[in-house]
Amino acid sequence: MKPPWKILMATPLFFLLTLHTLASPAYDHQPGTRRSKGQVCIALQHSFPCDVADFCSLAGCVLVVSVIEQLAQVHNSTVQTSMERLCSYLPEKLFLKTTCYLVVSIFGPDIIKLLKADVNADVVCHTLEFCKQDPGQPLCHLYPLPKESWKLTLEKARQIVKKSPTLTYSRSGSDICSLPFLAKICQRIKLAIQNSLPFKDVDSDKYSVFPTLRGSHWRGRDCNDSNKMAYPGRRPDNWDTHQDSNCNGIWGVDPKDGIPYEKKFCEGSQPRGIILLGDSAGAHFHIPPDWITASQMSLKSFFNLPTALTNELDWPQLSGTTGFLDSTSRVKENSIYLRLRKRNHCNHRDYQNISRNGASSQSLERFIESLSRNQLLDQPAIVIYAMIGNDVCNGKIDPVPGMTTPEKLYSKVMETLQYLDSHLPNGSHVILYGLPDGTFLWDNLHSRYHPLGQLNKDVTYAHLYSFLSCLQVSPCHGWMSSNKTLRTLTSERAEQLSITLKKIATSQKFTNFNLFYMDFDFQESVCVCVHAPQSRRSGRRAEGSSASSLNPWMDSTLVRWLYSCWQIASGRRCSSSGPRSWERRIHSTSRLSRCLETKGGTKSSGTPAPGELRKAETWVNSFKKWLWERLCHKLTGPSSAASLQSAFLPFKSLVSLSSLPLCHFWGWLPK
């Protein structure tokens, strides 16, 4: 589904949204899918999101006109002033500010006339024909309908602008890439994003020194873009005596003993990379609320807009799997890559985020070849398969027929696993994530005001969901619907697909990797209380250290860390009151988040009283015994994913499910 470009001519905010819309349609596994012919309003499209802030998907024209109107209201100014104010907020990069002023000069007069006539954004966009309703098609609107009939209101509005030259632009359907001097670069960007490969890659090794456009925000930064044999994740060439062949920053020879630093620090440390095969949740699709909340807009609001646009409105550098930068939001990410790197600095830069907005099991084959791993030259990898939404999510009026069936899922996943088996080095690991139950979207959000409706209390998430569903661009009509039966059917299909993935994990064996399955539960809080401090940066413990440090359970630093974690989970920290039962405490996501945000979960709050310390030690010992006897020893001998799953299932609310099967090869527990 390729949306029309004409809205780009009317919305400064989406000047380079071509990068996003070219990258992928809303439902990438259905190439023939198109929205209703009568509704051609462009919408920001993304797959199943991973947090509340990600639901800011609005038709571009309605969004921008709404923001203009609300800026005038917030600052008690004219519409002309509010349009100029919006332009002043945009950065100079990518010509965003210049383009904004140009667009205002073209469309501003008509928008001013229509808003003075006291019509809302829906009427403005229909009048300017950015949204066109054909006979027999439903009327899609975000705001309440006018008191007069829609036909009469629209007729009056059209009389106001009937002689305007603006309509010529909106009817033309032309886009910024149609300009001759931009056509070539647009084509290059389109191919780079469609193939999920870096736009700038001199040596064609699939790694780049450029951060965006599928560059180092998505995969480790290339340390030598003129040498195809130097890239993150490869085994060191002659222990990197003369150059850094694996880009982890470790190379050369120690003059004291003549031993290469790579050999000294990394030999035997079992370095490995992390690779994510995902959709927009894995790519960390996100539209900051202050981009569309007039009362919060300022000069600082859009400073990261150029980066976001050239990353397809994704933020992989902040993702939970491959993120490596500190988030500016209150929620701090602790990605799997950062955990691997902290455990072993030899893993530096060895990450790949092969995720795509709109991706599903049915479309992965189109871009999985962008994965970079050489069976002979590279280190093993941990691959996470997390297509968590689009196999059940689409925007059709009746979404059920468009959902992936268990049979189709089985076939495509097996194709993916066979591809991985032929490309991953021996000793790798693959984890299949199940699909979540997305019913919480409607249950928790439908009555809340969307950022666009907070000022006047006129747009709830239910209104937004209905608007997107009418346009047939809803990210997930099955779960974002007032129809409870439809929501239930969507959850049932998601459960069927998860069972299929679990069946694959328990029944299939592969030559070059072990296969695991993990449930994906959005509604469970995570308290990861398994971590062993390292005595050297590379991840290897210093030779000659005391015997107690060889056993992480006897390390006093770890005991203090676990004591802090126990305090959080049992409600003894960050809150003087709270739920009584253990299960309710461990589900208190907000309190745990506040604790972790203030680093309360990683630092002990003073010297514990003897009685408290004994309680903590008792809990630590019982936790250690369970983790070893019920889980980790199963990974050191003959085991199956089925026995693994049954082992930790009763305790899945206690420990991060995504980290448990990794304990044996991350070295967190003794064997």
Asked if 280 is an active-site residue, the reply is yes
Residues 6+ apart with CB under 8 A from 220: 207, 231, 232, 233, 247, 273, 348, 349, 350, 351, 352
**125 membership: H or E segment, kind and range:** helix 121-127
Q: Please work out, in degrees rounded to the nearest 5, the angle formed at the alpha carbon of residue 337 by the alpha carbons of 331 and 340.
A: 120
Please, are residues 354 and 416 in contact by the beta-carbon 8 Å criterion? no
**Helix spans in 39-95 (H):** 60-75, 79-89
Q: What is the 3-state secondary structure (H, E, C) of 389-455?
A: CCCCCCCCCCCHHHCCCHHHHHHHHHHHHHHHHCCCCCCEEEEEECCCCCCHHHHHHCCCECHHHCC
Q: Please work out, in degrees rounded to the nearest 5, the angle formed at the alpha carbon of residue 483 by the alpha carbons of 481 and 487.
A: 70
β 273-278/428-433 pair status: unpaired
Residue 176 has, within 13 A of its CA and on its CB side, a CA count of 21
Separation between Cα atoms, residue 376 and residue 369, nearest integer Å: 17
Length of the chain: 671
| Two structure tokens written together for 507 | 């029944």
Separation between Cα atoms, residue 489 and residue 219, nearest integer Å: 37
Please, are residues 530 and 627 in contact by the beta-carbon 8 Å criterion? yes
In the set 57, 208, 216, 280, the catalytic residue is 280
Please, are residues 7 and 45 in contact by the beta-carbon 8 Å criterion? no
Please, are residues 485 and 398 in contact by the beta-carbon 8 Å criterion? no
Please, are residues 132 and 40 in contact by the beta-carbon 8 Å criterion? yes
**Residues 123, 125, 126, 129, CA torsion sign:** positive
Please, are residues 239 and 263 in contact by the beta-carbon 8 Å criterion? yes
Q: Which residues are catalytic?
A: 280
